[in-house]
Chain A
Amino acid sequence: MATPESNSPGMNRRSFLRTSAVLTSGLAALAASLAPLRNLDDFPSVEKFLQKYYKEMTPEEMAKVLKRIEHDVEKQYGLRPHVRDLRPMDGVEFVYALNLTRCIGCRKCVHACVAENNQSRNPEIQYIRVLKLPHGSLDLEKAEHNSDPAKVPEKGFFYMPVQCQQCKNPPCVKVCPVHATWQETDGITVIDYDWCIGCRYCEAACPYWARRFNFTKPEIPKEKLNLEMAYLGNRPRKQGVMEKCHFCIQRTRAGKYPACLEVCPVGARKFGNILDPNSEVSYILRTKRVFIQLKEEMGTSPRFFYYFDV
């Protein structure tokens, strides 16, 4: 008569040990193979996940969201920012004018913009491109972005900085499938970075190559962070969302000039309220030789004007 252990069909000591050893090592291996999940630490919080669309938020909800953003930024960078939700002012429509006779192509505006708007330093995201064009032509096919001469301006060339043109008829807004980008009453086309799904349709639609995509997590050194932030402006973006020039919303809606204008050493950049007949931009559009809106034939009607002296 055999022992119950040897003839029981289900379990004996040996098979139990074997099975449990296999099971243990299998579970350990499963746990180890799931280890990369630990690196997924930036799951959105519940409040962030359930956050409403910008235009649907009540002031109280917005205040809560701003607090949360301040907290998130502090958690990431160790510095407490001041985040505001600045709304467009009544009777204000912003217009930019750029004097092509004066611009020397020094690219100071590019970097002042990066510093002001907390753009990723690595990989580099820049809103302004300074095109170098030969005299006597406005053929953008001949434009060069990457020139690096010892001294500017160079003989025989002129420079044309291009950034978001804040179109009156913006193609980027039309293609957005989730209404994460729209035109405000003061003429600035804004992006809700928390609503953007990163489909990049707007980037494809923009004829000025003004929109930038965060392919990776943006990298900003802590000491370079600009702590004066706006919800629709320069608050830090996350991976997978679009961004672009917003006329420095955190400055201009507080009455200040944009950062690119302040830094321009030759005074080629002009900005102001076109609805005010005494503003600089009104004077320029009235009296100067305003030559182009870039790619006028596209019908986008930019709020960014290029003009010449003489």
Chain B
Amino acid sequence: MSLNLKTSAVLTGLSCAFLALTAAFLLNPWGRPQAREFIPLVDTNFLSTATVRQSYAELIRLKADLSDFDCYACHEKGKPPTLRFDTNQVLIIPTEHANLVMGHGSHNRNNNCFNCHDENNLEQFQTRDGRALKLSDSTPLCGSCHGPTYRDWEGGAHGRTGGFWNKASGETTRRNCVECHNPHAPKFPGRAPAPGPHLLHPDAHIAPETHAAH
């Protein structure tokens, strides 16, 4: 009889333990894994590999509208346009070219159109050493002043590269100067950075400052 009682007691105890476990698993008093904080996906613009601009050569290749480059639709052939400067010797941009922002060279020193454009034939460029270059061939024009940068570009240290590093597998794409730089204002404007690493701990941003304090 006592054996029977003992068995019952043990079984009841075990049942209670299992029931308690069941209840614990269902109610989860020590907390379910916390729902993860929502992290927004990054704007796909930040993943774009496109350049900021398109060169004339690229526009020809894409068969884009080239009417902007038809200088003699407005200008008169054989009559070089005259440039006007204000009292500080800053070029006055005519209203027809109001979209141009001039900012080439520190202190805006390169403010004469005909340092690069050919006044006698607006549909081509002229270098300072007297070479004539097509509008689609502007890289040597830039190189005629920016020698070291041009050398680095040719060597591959300057400028954007893409495609294949291995010539046996495919073509390496090189970008021209004007695909990244605006020739009239070559310095890059600032841009909004992509989001930084997500701070898992809400107070994490305090850490660098306290670190710097001591």
By DSSP majority rule, is chain B's interface helix, strand, loop, or mixed? loop
Is B175 an interface position by the 8 A CB rule? yes
Is B194 an interface position by the 8 A CB rule? yes
Q: Are A107 and B196 in contact (CB under 8 A)?
A: yes
> With the chains together, A67 CA to B156 CA distance in Å?
40
Is A270 an interface position by the 8 A CB rule? yes
- 8 Å CB interface, B153-171 against A: 155-166, 168-170
Residues in chain A near residue B155, CB distance under 8 A: 280, 283-284, 287
Residues in chain B near residue A156, CB distance under 8 A: none
Is B135 an interface position by the 8 A CB rule? no
> With the chains together, A270 CA to B46 CA distance in Å?
19
Complex: chain B residue closest to A126, CB-CB: B197
Residues in chain A near residue B212, CB distance under 8 A: 142
**What's the nearest-Cβ distance from chain B to residue A130, in Å?**
8
Complex: chain A residue closest to B3, CB-CB: A9
**What's the nearest-Cβ distance from chain A to residue B38, in Å?**
8
Is A299 an interface position by the 8 A CB rule? no
How many residues of chain A have a CB within 8 Å of chain B? 75
Q: Are B11 and A273 in contact (CB under 8 A)?
A: no
Asked, given contacts A36-B25, A108-B47, A256-B165, whether A146 binds B196 with beta carbons under 8 Å apart, the answer is yes
Q: Are A252 and B165 in contact (CB under 8 A)?
A: yes
- 8 Å CB interface, A252-279 against B: 252, 254-257, 261-267, 270-273, 279
Is A196 an interface position by the 8 A CB rule? no
Q: Are B193 and A221 in contact (CB under 8 A)?
A: no
Residues in chain B near residue A144, CB distance under 8 A: 208
Is B18 an interface position by the 8 A CB rule? yes
Is A177 an interface position by the 8 A CB rule? no
Is A76 an interface position by the 8 A CB rule? no
Residues on B facing A (Cβ under 8 Å): 1, 4, 7-8, 11-12, 14-15, 18-19, 21-22, 25, 36-39, 41-42, 46-49, 51-52, 152, 155-166, 168-170, 175, 180, 188, 190-200, 204-205, 208, 211-212
What are 9 pairs between A and B in contact, CB < 8 Å?
A32-B18, A104-B191, A146-B208, A148-B195, A151-B191, A257-B163, A261-B161, A265-B51, A270-B161
**Closest 8 interchain pairs by CB?**
A255-B169, A280-B156, A29-B18, A255-B166, A151-B190, A33-B21, A26-B15, A283-B155
